[in-house]
Every structure is written in structure tokens, then in C-alpha cells.
Amino acid sequence: LKNKLATARRGHKLLKDKCDELMRRFLDIVREDKAMREKVEDELALVHRSFATASALTSPRAMREALILPTRSTELAVSTKNLMSVIVPTFALTEVGEGAHDMPYGVAFTSGELDAAVRELSAMADDLVKLAELEKSAQMLAQEIERTRRRVNALEYVMIPEMEKNIKYISMKLEENDRATKVRLMKVKDMVLKDAHEFEA
């Protein structure tokens, strides 16, 4: 039990250290995520304004025809990285195919505002993917922090006190048995001495 208690205390310390480091990394990611979210929201507001201006200057039919068939194709590469024993995803966008940098329409019947809106929307794709990566990482780290905290609490408030209580109980019982054995031995000694005196007499 004493060996188990020592192991539990070591495990508790390691888990507590892990929890602290996870929390530090989590807060770093949350700060980065907040900054990226604000940037993406500003970019989206700009894109929305550009599309609103473009749709005011271009007929709905021309807008629909211009945007109905994309000429650009993108692939999302997903890989993983180990962050404090938590496997978090990393995303990367790559454009594939011919005409990767062309507009998805002819420029004869569309406004310059639509060109600007499409360029702005295209430029923010990497930021959107980065935001998704940060949010997923934050979510996974939060789950790991919760799991680790539960383990720390189980050790701190249940297992370690239970072991300490059992060790104390066993120690008291052993001391009690030891005292009882000493008393018995002393009584036996007294009886032997008494018998010896009687025999001599």
C-alpha cells in the first residue's frame, strides 16, 4: 500500500503538471483563435460589402451566370501534430488544376466590384482554414484538460486519502497486535518466573 501510495503521489504530480501545461497551451491557442476570428469577421464584412455593391451594379441574372460555374479547384490537406499527447489536426489549402488564378467568369458583362469581391473572398480562404484548425485544436485541448482534471481530482480526493486511511488503519492494527504480543510475553514470563520460584521453594 505504501508503494502504491508513492506511485499515486508521483502520478498525481505528473498529471497536475500536465494539466497546467495543457492549460497554458490552451490559453495561447484561444488568444490566437480570438485574433484570427476578429480578422476573419472583418474580412467577411468587407467581402459582404463588396458583394452588396456588385449586386447593386450587376443584374441578378448576370451575377448568377458569372458565379454558377467555378474554374478554380482547391484541395484540403489534413495532417496531424502531437500537442502534449493530444493529436490535433492541421489543415492546408492547395489550388489544383488549370486557371487556378483566373476569375470564374468573363469580365465583359460584370463590374469591377464583383472582381474585387471574388478576389477578397478567395484571399480569406487560408484564414478560414486556419481558424477552423485553431478552433478544433482548442476544443480537443479543452476535452483533454477536462479528462486530466478528473484524473487529478480522483487521485487527490479519492484514491490517495483512501490509501492513507488504509495505511493508518493497518499501522494501528499492527501496533495494537505488537502491544498485545508484548503483554502476553510479559505475562508468560511472569508465570514462568512464578513457577520457577515455587519449584525452588
**Where does 64-113 show beta strands of DSSP type E?**
73-83, 86-96
The pLDDT value given to residue 107: 60
Q: How far is Cα 49 from Cα 44, in angstroms, rounded to an integer? A: 9
The pLDDT value given to residue 88: 93
> By the 8 A CB rule, do 102 and 71 touch?
yes
User: What phi-psi label fits residue 36: left (phi over 0), alpha (psi between -120 and 50 degrees) or beta?
Assistant: alpha
| pTM for the predicted model, two decimal places | 0.73
The pLDDT value given to residue 106: 61
Summarize pLDDT for 30-84 with one digit per residue, the tens: 999 999 999 999 999 998 998 888 888 877 887 777 777 776 778 889 999 998 8
Confidence of residue 123 (pLDDT cuts 50, 70, 90): confident
* Least confident piece of the model among 13-22, 24-33, 47-56: 47-56
Q: How far is Cα 54 from Cα 107, in angstroms, rounded to an integer? A: 13
Query: Averaged over 133-159, what is the pLDDT?
Result: 95
The pLDDT value given to residue 50: 86
Whether 98 has a pLDDT exceeding 70, the answer reads no
Strand 86-96 relative to strand 73-83, pairing: antiparallel
Contacts of 79 (CB under 8 A, 6+ apart): 89, 90, 92
The pLDDT value given to residue 100: 46
Q: How far is Cα 174 from Cα 95, in angstroms, rounded to an integer? A: 75
Query: Averaged over 134-155, what is the pLDDT?
Result: 95
The pLDDT value given to residue 167: 95
Q: How far is Cα 36 from Cα 59, in angstroms, rounded to an integer? A: 34
Whether 172 has a pLDDT exceeding 90, the answer reads yes
Whether 95 has a pLDDT exceeding 90, the answer reads no
